[in-house]
Amino acid sequence: MNKNNYAIIMAGGIGSRFWPISRTSHPKQFIDILGTGKTLIQQTYDRFLKICPQENIYIVTNEIYSDLVKEQLQGIGDQQILTEPVMRNTAPCVAYGCFKIESINPDAAIVVAPSDHLILDEPGFIATIERSLETASQNDCLITLGIKPSRPDTGYGYIQFTDKTINGDFHKVKTFTEKPTLEIAKTFLQSGDFLWNAGIFVWSAKAIVDAFGQHLPDMNDIFADARSVYNTDDERPYIHTAYQRCTNISIDYGIMEKASNVYVLPSEFGWSDLGTWASIYDLAEKDYVGNAVIPSDKVIMYDSSNCMVNVPEGKLVIIKGLHDFIVVESNNTLLISPRSEEQGVKQIVADVKQQFGTKYI
């Protein structure tokens, strides 16, 4: 295992589209949402243990989740949990982790990944990441992984690539496109040169630090000035004060869409961002009429089909005459909604917060 390989796992989101199971106090990445016996962050951590030395894995998360991280990831050290005092999107999160790693090992190659994605082909994923880390170490480039699209999905961002390559099949990126309309997504698939943006990045410490200096100089200054306090008792108070000065901006918009040395590796390893209940439904085991029930020990379905049901273990639930619905209960809250309207969950959460405060959020 290469001692210069590092991983940053981003684990600060609140997963509001999975409300009411995902709450601010206990969000999606800390939940065994698929009933596998391991939470999403545990699965992510276990994958990277096969790529990086354990001490080279860092978790960036909100400070309110640091105890959850320690509870779920055995052997993780306090210096490996990088806490954010406020949410500022992904660019500050990436900057914090990468500048800290660069201060420890200037020769580091770093993979940055979300904590809540599903990977079905783990050997394929590991091979892809290892190859990307090697390429990043040998070239001055910023690598992103692109998933070969299987359908014209409007829920993902897209990456367009050119024929120019390095190291075989790492393609120069031409454009990034945010979530398109269905018609545009169809043209992307027909063209053959677009990939889904998986939000997984690989680069050398030097390349990403240089990119921050060029494209986000103010943020660069904040985290470069912290080099003297990384891995000391002053790190946390310094970073928590400095974070207030950070712009709320994504790494995609702040750097990847602007840099001239961005490459994408077309990839296939059974990826899903588990962004909605629809993605959980697609992956879950179903009965002969299409009902997915997690857990299923005391749920009885009559004349019902194509439903996504997630209720507390041991709770007796009877559903009759329901078709294409989501039924979710957690934390003294019951949500029943047509599957076709699941994108409205975020608005429901906002309405509940307005009417009842944060008690149910």
Tell me the pLDDT tens digit for each residue of 84-116: 998 889 999 999 999 999 999 999 999 999 999
Q: What are phi and psi of 119, to 5 degrees?
A: -125, 115
Among 272, 293, 322, residue at a domain's last position: 272
Domain, as residue range, for 47: 5-272
Q: Tell whether 213 and 94 lie within a shared domain.
A: yes
Between CA 291 and CA 306 the distance in angstroms is 5
Residue 180: pLDDT band (50, 70, 90) is confident
- On whether the pTM is more than 0.85, the answer is yes
Q: Tell whether 321 and 261 lie within a shared domain.
A: no
Specify if 361 maps to a domain: no
Quote the pLDDT of residue 223. 96
Q: Is the pLDDT of residue 14 over 90?
A: no
- The residue type of 16 is S
Between CA 11 and CA 15 the distance in angstroms is 10
- Of all residues in the chain, the percent with pLDDT exceeding 70 is 100
Q: What angle do CA 16, 19, 20 make, to 5 degrees?
A: 150
Q: Tell whether 192 and 312 lie within a shared domain.
A: no
Q: Tell whether 93 and 224 lie within a shared domain.
A: yes
Q: Tell whether 261 and 326 lie within a shared domain.
A: no
Tell me the pLDDT tens digit for each residue of 286-344: 999 999 998 767 899 999 999 999 998 888 999 999 999 999 998 889 999 998 887 78
Quote the pLDDT of residue 305. 97
Cβ–Cβ < 8 Å for 307, 301: yes
Q: What is the mean pLDDT of the chain?
A: 92
**H or E stretch covering 40:** helix 40-49
Q: Tell whether 85 and 202 lie within a shared domain.
A: yes
Average pLDDT over residues 30-39: 88
Q: Tell whether 311 and 268 lie within a shared domain.
A: no
HSE-CB of 357 using CA atoms within 13 angstroms: 1
**How many structural domains compose the chain?**
2
Q: Tell whether 263 and 190 lie within a shared domain.
A: yes
Tell me the pLDDT tens digit for each residue of 148-177: 888 888 788 899 999 999 988 999 999 998
Among 242, 272, 302, residue at a domain's last position: 272
Specify if 23 maps to a domain: yes
343: DSSP letter: G
Specify if 315 maps to a domain: yes
Q: What angle do CA 338, 341, 344 make, to 5 degrees?
A: 125
Quote the pLDDT of residue 191. 83
79 token code pair: 């210096």
Between CA 166 and CA 179 the distance in angstroms is 27
Tell me the pLDDT tens digit for each residue of 117-130: 999 999 999 999 99
Q: Tell whether 260 and 282 lie within a shared domain.
A: no
